[in-house]
Each structure stands twice: as C-alpha cells, then as structure tokens.
Chain A
Amino acid sequence: MDNRERVAAVLKTVSKKTTMPDADESLFDSGFLDSFDLPDMVSALEQEFQIKIPDSDLNPRKFESIARIESYVESRK
C-alpha cells in the first residue's frame, strides 16, 4: 500500500461512513470526520505511520483531506 492508501485505510477505521472521499475533498465538509473524530484520526495516524504528531501540528487544516494528510505524514517521516 502506498501512503495515500494507508491514510484512506486509517480514515475507514475512524469515520462512520463506509464510502471514501476524493483525495482533495474536505473530510469535514463531506461529513467523514466531525470535531470529535479528529483526535481519534490523529492517534490512528500516529500508530499507522509510527510518528509522533506534536501539539503544535494539531491544526485541523493539516488534516482537511486525504491528500493533505498524506503530505503531512510524508513530511514527518
């Protein structure tokens, strides 16, 4: 699996939706994540990619879409 697929797999475990959004689609506006899903998403990403996401990076815009998350986790590796 490439990183985008891994991010999508993580999203599937956190989101209540069964479909998948487009890579650039807002996960918030499209209802894939709500405010309280976001901390779970961050924790799941930390586990999947074996990274520590610091509090200073907990900016919702970094986690707005699959493509943005992919870009972020790649910057942390």
Chain B
Amino acid sequence: MRISLLFLITLFGVSICGYAQNKQLLYDFTEIPQSININPGAEIDYQWFAGVPALSGVSFQAGSSGVSAYDLFANDGLDFNVKVRERLLNGMSTRDELSGTYQLELFNIGFRGKDQNIFYSMGIYHEGDAIGYWFQDYALLAIDGNADQLNRRFDLGDLKTRGEMMNVFHFGINKSIDRKLTLGVRAKVYSSIFDFNSTNNKGFFVTRPGSNNTFSSTLNADMRWRTSGINEIKRALDDGTLGNTIFKRGFFGGNLGVGIDLGFTYKFSNQTVLTGSLLDLGLIYHANDVENYTLVGDVTTEGVEVILPDALVNSNEDFWQNLVDDIEEIVPFENNFNSYITFRPTKLNASIRHNWGEPTLRAANCDCGPYATSSNRVEKFVNGVGAQLYMINRPRGPQTALTAFYMRRFGNFMAVKTTYTIDKFSYSNIGLGLNLQAGPVNLYLLADNLLAYRNIANTRYTSFQLGLNIISWGKN
C-alpha cells in the first residue's frame, strides 16, 4: 500500500522543484538527479531515480537589473515621485529588465537500461517565464509628455516584452561513450497554455516645427502584439473555470511545439572535466486561440488645415473628423488571427572543473551489510573547483553570467556547492547548495544571492530550488 501510494504520488504528484533560468548551483551538481535536466550529458551513476513530493512550496527566480523594490518602496520619507524620476526615469536604460521564471516539476523519473551505459529519463514540468524591458520613452511620454522637446524621437521599439506558460514533456537518453565521454540528448514537446509577445516593435513619435502650422506631429509605427491562449484564459476567469482551462491547455489542448536539449561531459583526466549543454533549442507553433494586434503606418499631421480656396469647395466639410479618419486609415490599429511561431529562449551552459583530494568510496566498498549489491557509482573527489558560463537568448540579445564554484563532498551522504556569479543583476551573487543523501532518499536545497538575504527587499535577484528524490545505485 505504501509502495503504491509512493508510486502514484511519484507519477502524478507535486514534487516541487523550482529552477531559475540560470541554475548555476544545480549545473554539474551530479549528486542531484535534476542536474540531468540542464545537462542531458551529465555523468550520472544512478541505477534509477524518481522525484518525490515532500516539500511543498513555490520555487522561483525573479530579477530586476535596474531597481529593487527597496529602491522604490522603502519607507524612507522621500517623495515617491522623486524616487520614480531619479531611479526609474533617470536611473534605468532600455537594457534593464524585470523578469521572472518558475518551473514546477510534475513528474520526473530516470532509469538505466539493459545496456548499463545508457540512462533514460523522462518527465513533465510546468513552466512560466516572462520578461519585460524598461520602456524608457513610453515612461517619459507618460510622465513628462512631448512639450518643449522638439525633434526628440520617442522610440516605440522600447516596448519589448514576452511571456508564456506551458507544460513540457520530455524524454532523454544519456550514454556513456567511454570512460572519458558522456553524451546526452533530450527531446521535448511543449504544450503552450498561453503566450504573449511584442518584441520586434519599430517606429517613433516626434514633434517638429511645422511647415504651415506651429508643430508637425509624426507617428511612424510598425508594432505587433501577438497572443495565444489569452482570450481563453480571460473567459475562464469570467466563468470560474481557470483550473480546468490551464489543465486542458497544458495537456495538449493548447498550442504545441518541439525542442531538443543537447549535452556532454568530457574528462581530460580523472581530475579535469569539461561539460556543456544547449537547452530548449525549439519552437512553438501558435494556431489555437490566437489574436494579434498591429499598429502599422506613417502619418504626419499639423492639426486641422483649412486652406482657401480649396476649402471653399465644400463649406460643410468636417475637417476635424476628416483628420481623425485619415489618421486611422493611414495608421490603423487592427487585429488578426494569424498563426505564428515563437522560438524558445535557448540556454547555453558550460563548465570546466578540476577535482582533487581523496576520492569518495564506491558504494560497493562501503560497509553496507549482507544485502549490498553492485553499484554504478563513479569515483568522485572530495573537492572540486571550476568555472561555469551561462548564456540565454533574450529579446535584446544574449545575456551572460559567469560563475566560479567550489564543491566539497562529505562521504556519500552530503555534498556542498558554493558559487560566485557575475551577471547583469548582481556582482555579489554568492550561492550555496546543499545535497543530502540518506540511504535512497535525496534532499537538496539550493539558494542564490545569499548576501541579499540581509535585506530581501533590496535584492535585484533571488532564486531558490529544492526537491526530494529517491535514488538507487543498485540493480533495477
């Protein structure tokens, strides 16, 4: 009964494992089974594993490269409008972003095949991801307006945002080619719940001295806002059927896509290891519940113009309405239902690690008692130090993070990894990961940007991950 309950929970349960987009603590932390999800070519030695629900909660990553909540909302007695002007309008650029990601592991298992060199893994996870860049010129128009700014072009391209929610179904194969090289590949099917994106806007709004009248106002717009699933979500909110709708769309009732992860581990020697992975090389085709909005055109106006004698031809002409109609015709705000494709934010990870110290004991060598079986455990050194590179494709180009890490193993029951990461969010990001192994039970807790915990409100980046797995190094 307990086994079947465990099995059911494992299959359909709510093992909550949250990941940041950059999972520098989890990457190459091969004691943790989820590390195979960010490097399908990781060198793993389990016979099988299964994610287990144990610790409920929400795991997430959120970052703001411009300001923190504390910068704006600290109870410091300063005029809020002054803070908005100094820290947002004057303090941020269009490369600053507000972004967030979460992943919720619904089901995750892995097992070694008959060929002991091949390890299969599969699962389902739920993911939400959104990013919005600081829309500087829109904010300036909204706070200051266009007065006394002749010839200043307000860039409509400052609107750059995207977001999505989906379920991901994945199946991976990890093969140990020889003692030096391990390769991995993971196929993914994306079931998009909703998507919105407006990332390729162009155009400007400018006020210049007019040729006839005092000012000429020009709107040059090439803007697109694409959505899928949003209308159905809105209807579900009205009908009180949000849960059902998300479930249905997340299980192949929305829009579908495919993708692939690739990864490798290469040992130059027992002590020097190179790894790399390319994740979410994929796309989603949106054809279900699509609605897009466009604003395209180029118009210049100097207000209502009445030039005699031409204006005398029709004395009842409504010049104002004609002007409005002309502008709406030249720069129409329209909607359409055309299908579209989005590319997933592809991630690149790489690391080089040097190990030293006493190798940990193989499980088969331990004092395990009369029921001990053979094991696949690979030799691991007590210490590891190295560097990692992370890149992700974002609407304003790739974002990069560099990490230095140190890993320490305490026998087979505990491993600790600490990281120092530099990226656009922080230059003082120190993270700590703890992995505990109690028999077959594996518990891990990874927390990022620990210095920020002195005042969480003042952090521009935070993430944490936790999870519980059952791992076996014995036979199937």
Please determine whether chains A and B interact with each other in the same assembly. Answer: no
List residues of A whose CB falls within 8 A of some B CB.
none
List residues of B whose CB falls within 8 A of some A CB.
none
